[in-house]
Homo-oligomer: A and B are copies of this chain.
Amino acid sequence: MTRPASPAAYRTLDPAGIRAFLAAQPALAARLGGQPDAWRVREVSDGNLNNVFLVDGPAGGVCFKQSLPHVRVDPNWKMPLDRTAFEAAYLRAVRPHVGDLTTELLHFDPDLFVLVVESLDGHVVLRHGLMQGGDWPDAAAAIGRFVARATFPTSPLALKFEDASTLLAPFARNHTLTRITVDLVLTDPYHAHPRNHWLSPELDATVAEFRADPAVRRRVGQMQTRFLTCQQALLHGDLHTGSVMVSGSDTRVIDGEFALPGPIGFDCGLFIGNLLMHLFATLTPEGRARALRDIDQFWTHFRQDFIALWTNAVTHGQSGDAYAAPLFRDDPASLRQVQTQFLDDIETDTIAFAALEIIRRTTGYAHVADFDLIADRTARAARQEAALRLARDMLAHPERTPTIAALGACAADRAR
C-alpha cells in the first residue's frame, strides 16, 4: 500500500492477459479448474473507476479487479493506481470480523494493482435489484450488522489505542479517493462548480435555495470537519446500494477502495441516504414500504449489534482504551448510558451524512440511477425536489428528524 506504483511493471490486462495472470497463480488456477483456454472471461465493470471481470472455470469462479491509471469512464481524469491496494487492505482488516458479509480476498498483486476476490456470480447489485422491484428482506439488516462488525472491532472502543492507531494509519493515506469524497460529497454541491449538474431548469430554484440557506452551509461545514477529524473506526467509505450484492438471503459488501478512518455515521449515512433516494424514486406503495422497512432494519441491526459487541468486550474486560473496561465493567447502568449517548451521536451524524449524499447524488457530479425509474421528466424532477427538500431540512432543521425512526416517518409522508 505504501509502495509507489512501479509504472514499468504495470500494464492494463486484457482478457488474454487476465487468463495468463490467473494461470500463473496455482491457487487461483486450481480454484477455476481445468485448462485456461476453457475459462470464460466476462467484463462486468459498471462503476466509474476500475476494470472488473468475472472469470469462470469448470471448478469455480473468481472476480478480477484492476485499477487503471485514470478514471475508467474519463481517461483524461488521471488517477494513481493504489485504490485496489486499499480495497485489499480493507478486506484484510474487516473480513475476520464480518465473515461472509463481504468477499474473500484471494490474491493481490502490488505491481499490477490486481485484486482477486471470490466471485459473486448469481448475485445482483442491490441498487439494480431494488430498481427492478426485487425484494431482499434480509439485506438491510445484514448491512447493519456489517457496519457494526467492521467498525466496532477497528475502533479504540475495542482496541488498545496503539493497535487502533497502527491499524488505521495506512488508511489515512488513502488520499486520492478521500479527495473525491471531500470534493464531490462534502464541498462542490454547495457552490458553483463545473462538475455539478441537475435537472435544469426544473431544480434550479431548489438548488439555489439550499445553497443560499446559511443553516445548510453551517451544517455542511460542521460535517466536513467531522468527516476529517473524527476518527472513530475504519470505514468502508463508499457504502451505497451499488456496493452491496445480494442473492436470496446472502448479502455481501464489495468495493472497499474508499476505506479510511472516520466517523461511523458516514458509512451509515451513505447507506440510508441511498435507501431514501430509492424511496423517493419508487412509484409503488409496496416498494416504498420496503424501502422504509430497510431503513429501519439497517439501523436497528446496526445499533443492536454494535452495542452487543461493545457490552461483550467490556464484560470480558477486553475493551480498548476508549470507555476503558476498568471504569465500566462493574457499572452496567453507566455502560448502557454511554452506549446510548455514543449511538445517538452516530445517529445524528448519520442523518446529516445521508442528507449530503442525497444532495450530491441529485445535484453533484455522480448521480444515482434510481430516479431513472421515472420516465417522465417533470415527475422525476418533482421526486428529486421532494428528496432535496427533505435533505435540506435534515441539515437545517435537525430537530424535525432527530432519529432514524422520525426520519423514516417524515420521508414516508413526503415521498407519497
Contact = CB atoms under 8 A, between A and B. Distances in A.
Interface of A: 155-157, 161-162, 164-165, 169, 172-173, 175, 178-179, 182, 186-187, 190-191, 214, 217-218, 220-222, 224-225, 228-232, 321-324, 326-328, 331, 333-334, 337-338, 341-342
A191 B224 contact: no
Q: How many copies make up the complex?
A: 2
A214 B322 contact: no
10 nearest CB pairs, A to B: A225-B322, A221-B323, A191-B326, A214-B334, A156-B228, A162-B175, A217-B327, A224-B322, A228-B322, A229-B232
A167 B261 CA distance: 16
Q: Which of A156, A224, A231 has the most CB of B within 10 A?
A: A224
A221 B327 contact: yes
Nearest to A226: B322
A298 B341 CA distance: 32
10 contacts: A161-B182, A169-B173, A186-B321, A191-B327, A214-B331, A217-B331, A218-B334, A218-B337, A220-B327, A224-B322
Given A161-B179, A169-B172, A217-B331, 17 more contacts: A156-B229, A162-B175, A164-B228, A165-B173, A187-B321, A190-B327, A218-B338, A218-B341, A220-B327, A221-B322, A222-B341, A224-B322, A225-B322, A229-B231, A229-B232, A229-B322, A230-B230
Nearest to A188: B326
Contact of A321 (B182, B214, B333, B337): B182
A161 B217 contact: no
B328 A161 contact: no
A230 B228 CA distance: 9
A202 to B, nearest CB: 25
Nearest to A161: B228
B172 A324 contact: no
Contacts of A222: 323, 338, 341
Contacts of A334: 214, 217-218, 221
A8 to B, nearest CB: 26
Contacts of A324: 186-187, 221, 224
Given A224-B324, A338-B221, A165 B175 contact: yes
B231 A333 contact: no
B169 A224 contact: no
Nearest to A321: B182
Nearest to A323: B221
A218 to B, nearest CB: 5
A262 to B, nearest CB: 10
Contact of A224 (B165, B175, B182, B321): B321
A328 B162 contact: no
Nearest to A333: B214
B323 A187 contact: no
A155 B230 CA distance: 12
Q: Which of A178, A182, A225 has the most CB of B within 10 A?
A: A225
Nearest to A165: B172
